[in-house]
Structure 1
Amino acid sequence: MTARKRSHPGKSRNGADMFSRRTSVTSRVAVQRPGTPWSITDEALARIDETIAAHKPERGGALIATRERIVVDFLADPRPGEQVSYWHSRLLADALTEHLKQRPMRHYGGTLHSHPGVYGEPSGPDHVAFANQLATNPTIRDALFPIVVRARRQDMRSVLRLGERHLVDLPNGTFAAYSAAPNEDTVEVRPAPIHVIPLHRDITHVCQHLSAFVETPVVASATREMEIEGRHLPAVSLHAGEKSLCTVVFPAEYPTQAPLLLTSQAGAVVPAWKVGHDSRRRLSDAVGELVRAEQAAASTASMDDRLSHHLPDGVRARYLVVGAGSVGSTSAEMLVRSGVCDLTVVDFDTVELPNLSRTTYDRSDVGMLKVAALQHRLREINPEVRMTAIDAHIQDLDLSILDDIDVAVFASDDLAGEFWLGHHLYRRGTPLVSVKMFELGEAGEMVTVVPKSGTACLRCIIGDPVGSGDRGTTDYGSGRLVSAPALGVDIIATVARGVRMALALGQQEGPLAEWISPIIAQSRTYFQQSSVPDHRRLTELRPGRSSPSFDSAWYLTGPRAECAVCGEHPEEPAAVFGGSGVPRMLPPGVEEVAS
């Protein structure tokens, strides 16, 4: 039993007679009452345009939808001709049955056919056919019956009187959506607001964006449906070679509503979503950020494997790095490459061209705040790094930041400021490592302070910061060091010692904890090394002894009883300035401890 329509709109007596034996039907579209809203993917629209709109009229096919009224596919009738069978040809019926059998989350959503000319609304026979379709499918309470014409919407005056929310422009014509639903003894046919989900367009953009990032062609799977909290939604998986990157699940309201991103590690993620922006860029950014985080996690896991011998429990300590120049920036990078993920860096200066010879910065950083440039670099190494960048002088710091610090690394040129900050750290029981370079960078020192072990403070070990003259010409009022020549490799040699010590201070067990334990127990908290023979800093503490190139020495130190920081009667930090000029050795008469 088939209701057919002629190639021109009009009322079919056979169709009407056949329908009259079933039920009555509305005779026209309800103008003021929009039908049930539907969504359709741009993939389905492209298939409709290719198989229907691009050809002569009187073609048709079946819409494939989810129960959320999202049209996800279209099956064209394999038997197009001068007439359209609303009951579908046997070939289409068989194809539809097989399609739905293989995809249980899909169902028949309605029938589409094309009209000649500009007549983009249902004719009398169309109403009959709609009713017949619903009568033979009693489980369907609402179906979509679009009409496609090879005309632009501005030429479809009769259709425009119904509004434009049910119209979609196609490359070869216009798609006009109508919904039909049984209502007592009638079938109501109304213009259905249609929302286009730009699934294919946005996924194509994501693949191009990700391919450049992962340096491997990223391809998208065929659209399938996934059940998310009881809803059947279209989804696309992204792959780079054999590796699965992410699955994007599209809600019916996309891109007004955010998609759902699924990965094997992060699970389900709803990205931050700003309505009104280009959804292609928004989706690419969201997927890219998630993939980068996944890769960073995998990289971190791989890094942790490499570091597991020396750092069996990883690095949970939170670090403070004071200074982001040659010593500070290198220290921060070494810490991050060693697994540190939580650190705060303090510096007030900007990157200048001379800095590039001995820091971690590059030419693109020139003019930027050092802390900002360093933050960007460290996140490029490990996106999971949480670095707090503080643009300030030491004396201007909010001391509350020390509440969240486990280990401090001093690498600035403001010794007065470091002494003041070191006093606050000592009172809190927070260990610190100070790394400094001497003239021309040919020698350096490392100081370790562990308050809970009763070691000497920074002041007791390296003495009065004002006017020492040992570290170059310095304006200690501003903390700015007048630039002096030095080789980056010489700086790195000293920095590496300091970073190893800082990492060890953050460990409770393992090789590094075992290594540092006797050093602290014996008060060997002052270290010097030189890349040239007989450097003044090494020979003045070891009179009468020559010092070869790459020489180093550990020294015993201890607190002074009268010290306001670590002595018998400690004072408040504001009173701490001054001290002895050279390290005090313990026990008396012992100048050096074998390395």
Structure 2
Amino acid sequence: MFRHISIVDSVLASIDQHVAAHPPERGGGLLGPLGLPLIASFLPDSNAISTATTFRASPTFQRMLSRIEEAEPNLELKGIVHSHAEGVDHPSRGDAAAFADSLRLTPWLGRFVNPIVTNQNRRTEDHQVLLPNGLMSIFVSELTPQGSVDVRPARVQILPVGRDCAKLATALGAQAFTPSTVEVEGVGYVSVVLRTVGLELKLLFPLLYPIQAPIVLAERTDEFHSRTSTLLHRFGVEHRNDRILPLPLTWDLNVPAESRLARALHAAPNPVR
């Protein structure tokens, strides 16, 4: 039986850069919003206590994690990713013991996500994700009523937020900021801000993106001028005095996923005035 995890594509890029592109064992923490099976950011542990066959989080990492959790109380540690030697694409006995200790110390989590990165270039299983510099095999651990650890592979859904926002930023001549998470009326979203002269677009991506449309809000900044007005008109939005404008989208699943966001924004109808 598979468990299910959603992960933002920019997290995969960071894991590839800090873990897969280096010899084992390296790793770091996986963070996401409270209570949701979503991994939204990666915290590398460059000072981890490791050898070619072991990995243990450093005191520096623990302090950084504590500061992040204090500054952003809506985030929690979802698990630890680390690399193994080629071919060892599953948790070791030592890993399982460490998972059990983590779950006993943080029983409110209920589960711990445990990806293993190896230097392989072929994906053969549903719980694996191919990276530019290796392969990530994703597992989830849960404590059983008997106190042992049940480790199972996890089916992975990748949210192409970074890819689509980078494309949109290039098309608009805008700057795309690092994804974060936000809760709106009890629902969790991945939030990305795109900023250009006079205009800020805030995109809230649901966990079912790109099947489900994001919420898009356009906010006029102090530099708002005729160029920005033209940009809004390009989205089909008439000039209004409102500082924040919602952009209603027609989300066409017949459009290829990688083009769906840009197409929906360009075809956005005028909001009700």
Q: Shorter-chain TM-score: what band?
A: 0.7 to 0.9
- Residue in 2 that maps onto 1:128: 97
SS in 1 for 2:109: coil
Q: What is the rounded CA distance, in whole Å, between the counterparts of 2:88 and 2:5 in structure 1?
A: 22
Tell me, yes or no, if the aligned pair for 2:199 and 2:218 is still in contact at 8 Å.
no
- Residue in 1 that maps onto 2:31: 64
Q: What is the rounded CA distance, in whole Å, between the counterparts of 1:226 and 1:127 in structure 2?
A: 32
2:161 is aligned, of 199, 205, 214, to 199
Which of the pair is proportionally richer in strand? 2
- Residue in 1 that maps onto 2:180: 224
- Residue in 2 that maps onto 1:97: 66
- Residue in 1 that maps onto 2:261: 283
The reply on whether 1:84 has 2:55 as its aligned counterpart is: yes
Q: What is the rounded CA distance, in whole Å, between the counterparts of 1:288 and 1:238 in structure 2?
A: 16
Deviations 1:532-563 (A, max 9, x none): xxxxxxxxxxxxxxxxxxxxxxxxxxxxxxxx
- Residue in 1 that maps onto 2:13: 46
Q: What is the rounded CA distance, in whole Å, between the counterparts of 2:64 and 2:79 in structure 1?
A: 15
Unmatched runs of 5 consecutive residues or more in structure 1 = 1-32, 155-159, 212-216, 298-383, 385-595
1:273 is aligned, of 234, 246, 251, to 251
SS in 2 for 1:193: strand
- Residue in 2 that maps onto 1:564: none
Tell me, yes or no, if the aligned pair for 1:206 and 1:287 is still in contact at 8 Å.
no
- Residue in 2 that maps onto 1:248: 203
Tell me, yes or no, if the aligned pair for 2:253 and 2:260 is still in contact at 8 Å.
no
Q: What is the rounded CA distance, in whole Å, between the counterparts of 1:47 and 1:126 in structure 2?
A: 22
Tell me, yes or no, if the aligned pair for 2:26 and 2:46 is still in contact at 8 Å.
no
Tell me, yes or no, if the aligned pair for 2:32 and 2:39 is still in contact at 8 Å.
yes
* Count of aligned pairs: 245
Which of the pair is proportionally richer in helix? 1
TM-score, structure 2 normalization: 0.83
Unmatched runs of 5 consecutive residues or more in structure 2 = 220-241
The reply on whether 1:169 has 2:130 as its aligned counterpart is: yes
After TM superposition, give the deviation of residue 267 of structure 1 in Å.
Answer: 5.2
After TM superposition, the structure 1 = structure 2 runs for residues 111-126 of structure 1, keeping only pairs within 5 Å, are 111-126=80-95
Q: What is the rounded CA distance, in whole Å, between the counterparts of 1:275 and 1:116 in structure 2?
A: 41
TM-score, structure 1 normalization: 0.39
RCO comparison, higher one (Cα < 8 Å, 6+): 2
After TM superposition, give the deviation of residue 270 of structure 1 in Å.
Answer: 5.6
After TM superposition, the structure 1 = structure 2 runs for residues 276-355 of structure 1, keeping only pairs within 5 Å, are 277-290=255-268, 293=270
Tell me, yes or no, if the aligned pair for 1:262 and 1:268 is still in contact at 8 Å.
yes
The reply on whether 1:143 has 2:112 as its aligned counterpart is: yes
Tell me, yes or no, if the aligned pair for 1:53 and 1:114 is still in contact at 8 Å.
yes
Q: What is the rounded CA distance, in whole Å, between the counterparts of 2:2 and 2:65 in structure 1?
A: 29
- Residue in 1 that maps onto 2:238: none
After TM superposition, the structure 1 = structure 2 runs for residues 131-530 of structure 1, keeping only pairs within 5 Å, are 131-154=100-123, 160=124, 164-185=125-146, 186-209=148-171, 211=172, 217-244=173-200, 246-264=201-219, 265=242, 268=246, 271-275=249-253, 277-290=255-268, 293=270
Identity value in percent: 29
Tell me, yes or no, if the aligned pair for 2:250 and 2:267 is still in contact at 8 Å.
no
Q: What is the rounded CA distance, in whole Å, between the counterparts of 2:191 and 2:44 in structure 1?
A: 23
After TM superposition, give the deviation of residue 207 of structure 1 in Å.
Answer: 1.4
Amino acid at match of 1:233: Y
Q: What is the rounded CA distance, in whole Å, between the counterparts of 1:229 and 1:258 in structure 2?
A: 17
Q: What is the rounded CA distance, in whole Å, between the counterparts of 2:126 and 2:252 in structure 1?
A: 23
After TM superposition, give the deviation of residue 227 of structure 1 in Å.
Answer: 1.1
Q: What is the rounded CA distance, in whole Å, between the counterparts of 1:116 and 1:49 in structure 2?
A: 15
Question: Highest Rg: 1 or 2?
Answer: 1
